[in-house]
Structure 1
Amino acid sequence: MIITRAEIRDLARLTQFRVDAATWLAALGSDQWSTPFPSDHIAQSIQSGEVFVVRESADADDLAATITLDDAADPLLWTPQERQDKALYVHKLTVDRRFTGLNLGTRLLDWAGDRAARHGAHWLRLDAWTSNTRLQQYYAERGFQHVRTVHDPEVGGSGWVAQRPAAPAEHGLDDQAVE
């Protein structure tokens, strides 16, 4: 499996990732991602170099997973003091259901933590859907410590915030994302 930066040609597939994930989550009883995410925001993140994709090989057309990684701390979720800490933030981590069982979510989190450490960050941070306790447990099992839950309508339901130290990690992905 290789990881590269997403390209604009990936936009339709990245948008479909959200739709597929929302459908799967709805079957589990969650309303997470039930509101479509504007594709122009995804396109802007792609153009900023913040969206990464996993493919089975360099010549594979379809995507196995995606993660967005940036250094923009949401002021509704993180305090002014926390925003002073050097950190990278995980968003939109999604694995295609066809690739379950390959531990891609964990490997992407490890890749992100490794990348954060290589960029001098102290923390890898994320937010999760406030009512999705299964997802929160998933992150906790991968070393994320719950910081707080923000109950503000402006955060759109994703107010459970957590972090873990940024650290070098073996993730098993062929990292072809240009620094």
Structure 2
Amino acid sequence: MYVMRLATVADGPGVAAMIRSRSTWLEERDMPSWRDSADNLAAQAENSHGGMWVLEDDASRIVGCTTVQEETPPWGWTPEELAEPAHYLFTTVTDPAYREHKPGTLIALWAVDRAAREGKRWVRRGCMFPGLVDYYRTQGFALLHEVQRTRNRVYLMARRAERIAELERMFKGGDTHAS
């Protein structure tokens, strides 16, 4: 059973440790990692206005995080898309020790359900690696745009917000929206 809650300042060290664990896993596979920016990413937990959410297991160990913005970044999307209410996910990281439990998919489905509860039409996200595009497709996201930024190609994806009833059995007390 899991809990998804807003991150607090106290979560910073746990988030940083989880990001370093993911970085080691990525580096062992000759993939780019977040090691050099782990502390900066974890500092998002200190944002007093919220935004970073953490996924905890039964032992209150942080096994994943994501940051949710109320607005989609303006570049790469059409004016019509930007006019539709959406949440935008970024900096989603999970602990590789929990891979068999699919915490990344659980976070994505939680975000889709949360967006629907809040009257949003879409959950959007972007990534820079084709492998992540394939992974996010398994979570129901569709690739909508490819944008060349300064040095990176960014793949912009979206999934329609919807209630996901089966999430309730994965969260403590059936509460998918703890904070």
Q: Could you say which TM-score interval applies, normalised by the shorter chain?
A: 0.7 to 0.9
Following superposition of structure 1 onto structure 2, how do residues 123-162 of structure 1 map, counting pairs within 5 Å?
123-129=122-128, 132-153=129-150, 157=152, 159-162=154-157
The one-letter amino acid of 2:86's match is A
Q: What is the Cα-based RMSD across aligned positions, in Å?
A: 2.2
C-alpha change, 1:158 and 1:89, in structure 2 (3 Å) is: farther
CA change 1:121–1:63 in 2 (3 A) is same
- The alpha-carbon distance between structure 1 residues 40 and 14, as it changes in their structure 2 partners (threshold 3 A), is closer
Which residue identity does 2:5 align to in structure 1?
Answer: T
The letter for the 1-side match of 2:14 is R
Q: Offset of 1:32 from its aligned partner?
A: 4.8
Letter of the 1:157 partner, please give it: N
Instruction: Using the TM superposition, give the Cα deviation of residue 145 of structure 1 relative to its aligned residue in structure 2, in angstroms.
Output: 0.7
Question: How does 1:92-103 map onto structure 2 within 5 Å?
Answer: 92-103=91-102
Counting aligned pairs with the same residue, the percent is 24
Report the secondary structure of 1:72's partner residue: coil
Query: Relative to 1, partners in 2 of residues 1:67 and 1:152: Cα closer, same or farther, differing over 3 Å?
Result: same
**In 2, distance between residues paired with 1:10 and 1:158?**
31
Instruction: Structure 2 unaligned segments of length 5 or more: list them.
Output: none
The aligned counterpart of 1:42 is 44
Per-residue deviation, residues 35-73 of structure 1 (Å, max 9, x unmatched): 51525851454x22211112222xx34211112222121
Is 1:168 paired with 2:160?
Answer: no
Where 1:73 maps in the other structure, the secondary structure is coil
- How many residue pairs end up in the alignment? 171
Distance in 1 (alpha carbons) for counterparts of 2:28 and 2:89: 24
Quote the Cα distance in structure 2 between the aligned partners of 1:23 and 1:125.
27
In structure 1, runs of 5+ residues without a counterpart are: none
- What SS is found at the alignment partner of 1:64? strand
- Cα distance change on mapping 1:141 and 1:2 into 2, 3 Å: same
Work out whether residues 145 and 156 of structure 2, in 8 Å CA contact, stay in contact via their aligned partners in 1: yes
Structure 1 residues 41 and 80: CA distance shift in structure 2, 3 A: farther
TM-score, normalized by length of structure 1?
Answer: 0.83
More helix by share: 2
Shift of 1:166: 0.3
Offset at 1:21? 2.4
Alpha-carbon distance change, 41 to 54 in structure 1, aligned in 2, over 3 angstroms:
closer
Could you tell me which residue of structure 1 aligns to residue 56 of structure 2?
A: 55
| Inter-CA distance 50–29: structure 2 relative to 1 (3 Å threshold) | same
**How far does residue 173 in structure 1 lie from its aligned partner after superposition?**
2.2
Q: Is contact 1:107-1:173 (8 Å) kept?
A: no
